[in-house]
Amino acid sequence: MRRLLHVVFAVVVIALIVGAAQFAQRRWREQHPSTASDNKPPMPIVEGSVPAKLTPQARQNLGLTSKPAQLETYWRKIELPGVIDDRPGISDRGIVTPVTGVVTKIHAYPGYAVLPDSPLFFVRLVSETTQAAQLELFKATKEIEIEEKQKARLGAGAETGAIPKSRIIEIENQIERMDVTVQAYRQDLKARGFAPERIDAAAEGEFLTEITIRSPSEQTSSGNTLQVTGEQSATPQSLPFHFEMQDLKVQLGQHVEAGTVLCFLADHRALLIEGRGFKEDMPLIQNAAKNKLPIEVEFEAQGGDWPPAPTSLTIHHVANTIDLESRTFAFYLALENQGQAYHRGEDSRLLWRFRPGDRVRLNVAVQKFGDVFVVPQAAVVREGAEAYVFRQNGDLFDRKPVHILAEDRSSIVIANDGSIRPGFAIAQGSAASINRVMKAQASSGLPPGLHVHADGTVHGAH
């Protein structure tokens, strides 16, 4: 019996609350005749008349922020594809053997970092011409020594007239001829990769049977230091420049002829970005190249601790040919790479941020807009031919119609026609969500911020 009384009491309370709400609604409609009839269609949403109300929690859920509108200059851009490529003549270089021989030792393998002027290969000489050149150098050097001694012995007799001076002149001429021969053989051995000290040793009879092939020296590289990031820190450090062994072409014990490519070394500090455009884009690219206009560059997203990537570059050169298949032309931007160093024991390794084959987006400015407002794409909502932004006023967001002049993937350009003014706090995103909230609040028949209490009274936001 007691449980039944509780149920009846609860039903009565609910009926009283519903009746009070209906009474309050009728009373409000009597005070606002425009919405008194339930048979009338919903009140149309007029810009600025029904602002949307968002609580601080709702704004946090949407990640919504507002910024004061500011007039600025905007360049309309066209987007062109690009790809990172090696820089010809700088990025890659082949190492060849200057003599015929057999590879007896390999000092560096693919992935190894190699300092300039470091040993790469040992090659045992099997070339008869190289051995003959050393032998002839030794013989010519000794003959010069013999002639010099003979000249010293006969010098005193020539002064007294016991020996004709023509004999001394003949010896001097012979010495000059042999000296020319020595210089010729020295140059021949130098061209075959002999170090100066090894040439001097061959002249003394110590013939070289194995030659060391080394990496290019610092003078032949594009610089001797590399700005890299350490393994534990993102702070750039100065590290001695390293080549990287990119491709090994020979094996131990392989017989190689003079001029054979042994390996390829990579120097990825200096790269090129190759952009592609159609023929109608050529005037824009040529103008950017002549006037050194910056080209905005967007790289593929990358993780890791890296310094800031360059956001704009200038055109290095424009190709003067058209690809027959794609009917596009190429233009190039110079790119300085960023590297990181790490170690495996005593050996160094390098990681590069930008690598040949990576794709990029290139944005080329084509049209200037002055004194305009620029907002993110998500700050604008469209309904048919209309476009709107939302101005924040506390918890309320007023919808403002705007005229769109241009847009790209991330931004929209709004005309300065008086619909919004500098200093307006404009929502920077979630415009579509705010628009839905505004419609829902407007369709309820009550202005935003009003609510009905259980006693039937209507109140504003507390």
Longest dimension (CA), the chain: 161
What integer is the mean pLDDT of 88-92?
Answer: 84
Cβ 178 vs Cβ 140: under 8 Å:
yes
**Rounded-to-integer distance, Cα 416 and Cα 397, Å:** 20
pLDDT band at 456 (very low <50, low <70, confident <90, very high): very low
Q: What is the 3-state secondary structure (H, E, C) of 297-366?
A: EEECCCCCCCCCCCCEECEEEECCCCCCCCCEEEEEEEEECCEEEEEECCEEEEEECCCCCCEEEEEEEE
Domain 79-88+267-367 in the same topology as domain 52-72+368-450: no
Token pair belonging to 110? 């693919």
The domain defined by 79-88+267-367 folds into: Elongation Factor Tu (Ef-tu); domain 3 (2.40.30)
Question: pLDDT higher for 22 or 223?
Answer: 22
Q: Which CATH code is given to the segment(s) 52-72+368-450?
A: 2.40.420.20
Q: Which residue has the tokens 């967001």?
A: 397
pLDDT over 90 at 316, yes or no: yes
Element (H, E) at 136: helix 128-160
Q: Which residues are registered as beta bridge partners of 272?
A: 85, 334
**Crossing angle (nearest 10°) for helices 165-191 and 128-160:** 160
- State pLDDT tens for residues 326-366: 899 999 999 998 888 777 777 778 888 898 999 999 988 88
Domain definitions of the chain by residue range = 1-43+451-462, 52-72+368-450, 79-88+267-367, 92-263
* Residue 347: strand pairing partners: 344
Confidence of residue 40 (pLDDT cuts 50, 70, 90): very low
pLDDT attached to residue 45: 44
Distance CA 295, CA 365 (A): 7
pLDDT at residue 412, rounded to an integer: 93
